[in-house]
């Protein structure tokens, strides 16, 4: 039995189908269309490296770790990688970076590391123009921590947080002081005018003495960035302090000057503009430490400096000045100080984003009297005790203020 449909009815049905079919087809096309990663950049060194990938739409992602070799693997939905390969060329912590499709529905980024690493940050950020950025901040870690990450695989989603067990290692309720013995290994630092003792030996002996005295105080824990004659890049020193959960960072030095009559201790804090020519020259020499060992940031893109500067927060700088003033107050009348004992300059080792930091010049190896004191065990003990008092007064003042 056939039913005749009028022309008006046919037209209505046609319009209805025209209204329904195209959106369904379009929806199917959009759902199967891969994400577009249209730009990428990488910056950093062998202590910290940042990878940023730009997407047109928000990407879902997951992270896991694989050993032998040590790799960080980022899984994504189907993704078209539309940026030049050289924009994501391996550098910093990574010796190889590969990316591409796994199948029709997924893609993967594999970052092969030079040393054990962990992601301190992995998150998607929305830009001002509506694009999305996948930001991966990698930092060096210990083999034990990396092994735990591999074994637990506790961090699978893009939460931007570390596994609780790993993150809590440094959080035992103590007031943590990172003691940084300047120089080390191939970087000898200054050389004594009389005894020819290298600065790296002076700073290590002093750091060990200070750490022992800090450890004797209840509620205080001292961590050494190095406990032997090893080279650490400036970035490694900062990263080790942050990983230890340090509340303070003290970098110890004993430099030389062309004016051999100048002697006494100096306390430096960070500033982009140096307080004086001597501070500017000293910072320039200390910042060359990496280049002496063949670790140079001169080839890094400008954004590296921007990242470091952005991480330097005003509150941290205020606390750094407070710490410097406490050290000077403890030294006054007890330890020789140069004129204007608190100075400032652009020391890279003081650029920890969230740790009040000072660089302490204990004296000058170019001055015979200072050199003699720097090598004296009793003098080291005296100065260490004064520094402990300065640290405890700083702690009590900050805690009293709710810090």
Residue 160 has pLDDT above 50, yes or no: no
The reported pTM is: 0.74
Pairing of strands 175-181, 220-224: parallel
pLDDT band, very low/low/confident/very high, at 164 (cuts 50, 70, 90): very low
DSSP class of 363: -
Query: Closest Cα partner for 160 from 117, 123, 119?
Result: 123
H helical segments located in 137-276: 143-152, 164-167, 199-215, 234-243
Q: What is the CATH number of domain 35-154?
A: 2.60.40.3500
Tokens of 27: 């929806």
Domain map (residue ranges) of the chain:
35-154, 175-402
State mean pLDDT over 311-327: 86
Between CA 203 and CA 387, with CA 374 as vertex, the angle to 5 degrees is: 70
Is the pLDDT score of 384 beyond 90? yes
More confident site: 32 or 239: 239
Contacts of 278 (CB under 8 A, 6+ apart): 257, 343
Contact in structure between 92 and 42 (CB atoms under 8 Å): yes
Mean pLDDT value across residues 253-269: 94
For residue 148, pLDDT beyond 70? yes
Kind of pairing, strands 117-126 and 106-113? unpaired
Q: Decide if 265 contacts 373 (C-beta within 8 A).
A: no
183-184-188 Cα angle (round to 5): 75
Q: Name the superfamily (CATH) of residues 175-402.
A: Zn-dependent exopeptidases (3.40.630.40)
């Amino acid at each position: 039995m056939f039913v005749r449909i009028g022309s008006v009815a046919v037209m209505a049905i046609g319009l209805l189908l025209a209204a329904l079919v195209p959106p369904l087809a379009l929806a199917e096309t959009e759902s199967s269309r891969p994400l577009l990663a249209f730009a990428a950049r990488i910056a950093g060194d062998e202590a910290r490296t940042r990878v940023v990938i730009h997407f047109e739409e928000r990407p879902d992602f997951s992270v896991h770790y694989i050993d032998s070799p040590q790799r960080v693997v980022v899984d994504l939905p189907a993704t078209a990688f539309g940026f030049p390969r050289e924009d994501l060329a391996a550098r910093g912590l990574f010796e190889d970076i590969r990316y591409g499709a796994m199948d029709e529905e997924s893609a993967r980024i594999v970052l092969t590391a030079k040393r054990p690493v962990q992601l301190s940050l992995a998150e998607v950020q929305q830009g001002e123009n509506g694009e999305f950025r996948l930001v991966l901040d990698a930092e060096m870690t210990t083999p034990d921590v990396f092994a735990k990450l591999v074994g637990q695989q506790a961090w699978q989603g893009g939460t931007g947080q570390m596994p609780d067990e790993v993150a809590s290692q440094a959080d035992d309720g103590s007031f943590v002081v990172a003691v940084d013995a300047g120089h080390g290994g191939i970087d000898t630092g200054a050389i004594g005018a009389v005894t020819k003792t290298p600065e790296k030996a002076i700073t290590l002996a002093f750091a060990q003495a200070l750490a022992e005295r800090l450890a004797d105080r209840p509620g205080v824990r001292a961590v050494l960035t190095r406990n032997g004659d090893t080279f650490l890049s400036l970035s490694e020193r900062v990263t080790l302090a942050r990983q230890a959960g340090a509340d303070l960072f003290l970098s110890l030095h004993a430099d030389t000057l062309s004016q051999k009559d100048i002697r006494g201790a100096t306390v430096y804090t960070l500033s982009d503009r140096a307080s004086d020519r001597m501070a500017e020259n000293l910072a320039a020499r200390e910042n060359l430490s990496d280049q002496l060992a063949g670790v140079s940031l001169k080839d890094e893109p400008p954004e590296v400096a921007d990242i470091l500067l952005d991480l330097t927060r005003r509150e941290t700088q205020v606390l750094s000045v407070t710490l410097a003033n406490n050290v000077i107050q403890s030294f006054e009348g007890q330890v020789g100080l140069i004129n204007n004992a608190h100075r400032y300059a652009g020391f890279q080792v003081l650029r920890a984003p969230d740790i009040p930091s000072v660089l302490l010049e204990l004296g000058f190896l170019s001055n015979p009297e200072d050199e003699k004191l720097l090598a004296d065990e009793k003098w080291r003990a005296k100065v260490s005790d004064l520094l402990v008092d300065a640290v405890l007064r700083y702690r009590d003042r900050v805690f009293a203020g709710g810090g």
